[in-house]
Copies of this chain bind each other. A is one copy, B any other.
Amino acid sequence: MRMAFALPAYTPPDFSGSPLDAAPLVAYREVTKTGVAPEDFHATSIYPEYFHIERDEWRLLRESRMDCVVVLEEDRGLSVKELRHLACGDLVACGRRENGEDGIFVHTGGFEFPGEAGEKFAFRGRLTRESSFSTDYDELYGLLEHERKSGFILWVAGPALVFDRDGRDAFVKLIEGGYVHGLHGGNALAVHDIEAALFGTALGREIYSKRNTPLGHYKHLDAINSVRGLGSIRKAVDLGRVSDGIMRAVMALGIPYTLAGSIRDDGPLPEVIGDAYLAQDRTRDLARRATTVIALATQLHAIAVGNMLPSYRVTDAGVRPVYFYSVDMSEFAASKLADRGSLTARSILTNVQDFVVTVERGLMSRAACLTPPE
């Protein structure tokens, strides 16, 4: 009954047959204005893309993401850049046809997902709150156990993750259990996590009892002001002022994170990156390493990371898929992400509190089962 998790095999394209064997080399045009691509620039997708850079050499993009351009580097490598990072003189791959006509091949069918091939057109198309998620949980347990040792699990979270005591506690256990390798969120995630550490509240309301506290609307401001006074979250943790919660756990274990500023923030906390595009770059640095991403109750950040995430990762062991889960309450949010077109993107429609508590329990009970008797 227990699902054994295995990464699907990857089959590269066959470049030896027609018509790819007759494909031209990819052409480049030079950037003549900073941050502006030449006409007819090729834009990347989430799929593995191969570029015919030399006779008989098709090179797969590493660390790709959608909606970027491909630049030929001095070392003959290909990098995937956002428009704003283009420099004058950069050589940008051009051509928009996807089947080799321009020396570019977009490979959409590289992975064979076990048991799904051939069935996919028969699936009831729409995912709703009434879909069955039992199998998703079970697959997720298998995946997370695998990734804990062999992958990089990046979590993306909205503040609702810390609005509930049990959800916040369960996520801390996931961090301590080794299931969190990176974290991305906004100012509010950290603010209310620290507010909970200092006062037991989120926006002035107790995260267990739901009771409003006197002068509750000061709580998050006092949390922000305290941390700003100390100079950083890091300092607040090191001094023991912030002695529990997600930010403490992340810092205690040296887990990389990014907190992106947004226009609705109070504060912000010192570690928050105020420049949206610098925040995007730093978060993409996490996304480059990610093999599984789980986005919890946030549209803004889930879409942000979804945009910067390819459907595959090139590792020492070869090409593997990147898994992307989003957990949200609304079909609307799920649909926004589902159009990514990857079999590895899944949505689970539920409350983030229950999701995190259920996943933590599920992983622990599996771990308990696996522990051999002494």
Q: What residues on B are CB-neighbors of A208 within 8 Å? A: 132, 134-135
Alpha-carbon gap, A7 to B142, bound state (A): 43
Alpha-carbon gap, A357 to B166, bound state (A): 16
The residue that A353 contacts in the complex, of B43, B83, B159, B350, with Cβ under 8 A, is B350
Q: Does A344 have its Cβ within 8 Å of any Cβ on chain B?
A: no
Of the listed stretches A146-154, A245-253, A296-304, A315-323, chain B binds A296-304
Task: Please give me the residue from chain B that is nearest to A277 by CB atom.
Answer: B274
- Among A2-35, those with CB < 8 Å from B are 33, 35
Q: Which of A208, A262, A268 counts the most B-chain CB atoms under 10 A from its CB?
A: A262
Q: Does A108 have its Cβ within 8 Å of any Cβ on chain B?
A: no
The residue that A263 contacts in the complex, of B125, B164, B283, with Cβ under 8 A, is B283
Alpha-carbon gap, A207 to B263, bound state (A): 28
Alpha-carbon gap, A204 to B122, bound state (A): 11
Contact A128 B353 (CB under 8 A): no
Q: Does A264 have its Cβ within 8 Å of any Cβ on chain B?
A: yes
Task: Return A206 CB to nearest CB of chain B, in Å.
Answer: 8
Task: Return A266 CB to nearest CB of chain B, in Å.
Answer: 5
Task: Return A136 CB to nearest CB of chain B, in Å.
Answer: 8
Q: Does A361 have its Cβ within 8 Å of any Cβ on chain B?
A: yes
Q: Does A366 have its Cβ within 8 Å of any Cβ on chain B?
A: no
Chain A 352-371 per-residue mask, 1 if CB under 8 angstroms from chain B, else 0: 01110110010000000000
Q: Does A84 have its Cβ within 8 Å of any Cβ on chain B?
A: yes
- Among A276-300, those with CB < 8 Å from B are 276-280, 283, 297, 299-300
Q: Does A76 have its Cβ within 8 Å of any Cβ on chain B?
A: no
Alpha-carbon gap, A350 to B349, bound state (A): 9
Contact A212 B123 (CB under 8 A): yes
Contact B129 A160 (CB under 8 A): yes
Contact A210 B131 (CB under 8 A): yes
Alpha-carbon gap, A137 to B331, bound state (A): 24
Task: Return A59 CB to nearest CB of chain B, in Å.
Answer: 22
Contact B303 A133 (CB under 8 A): no
Contact B96 A215 (CB under 8 A): yes
Q: What residues on B are CB-neighbors of A339 within 8 Å? A: 124-126
Q: Does A332 have its Cβ within 8 Å of any Cβ on chain B?
A: yes
Task: Return A281 CB to nearest CB of chain B, in Å.
Answer: 10
Q: Does A145 have its Cβ within 8 Å of any Cβ on chain B?
A: no
Q: Does A228 have its Cβ within 8 Å of any Cβ on chain B?
A: yes
The residue that A277 contacts in the complex, of B206, B212, B265, B358, with Cβ under 8 A, is B265
The residue that A163 contacts in the complex, of B131, B163, B275, with Cβ under 8 A, is B131
Chain A 96-124 per-residue mask, 1 if CB under 8 angstroms from chain B, else 0: 10000000000000000001000100111
Contact B332 A128 (CB under 8 A): yes
Alpha-carbon gap, A122 to B216, bound state (A): 10
Q: Does A178 have its Cβ within 8 Å of any Cβ on chain B?
A: no
Known: A84-B268, A332-B331, A351-B133. A210 touches B164 (CB 8 A): no
Task: Please give me the residue from chain B that is nearest to A270 by CB atom.
Answer: B35
Q: Does A67 have its Cβ within 8 Å of any Cβ on chain B?
A: yes
Q: Which of A126, A131, A304, A307 counts the most B-chain CB atoms under 10 A from its CB?
A: A126
Chain A 192-233 per-residue mask, 1 if CB under 8 angstroms from chain B, else 0: 000000000011111111111001011001001100110000
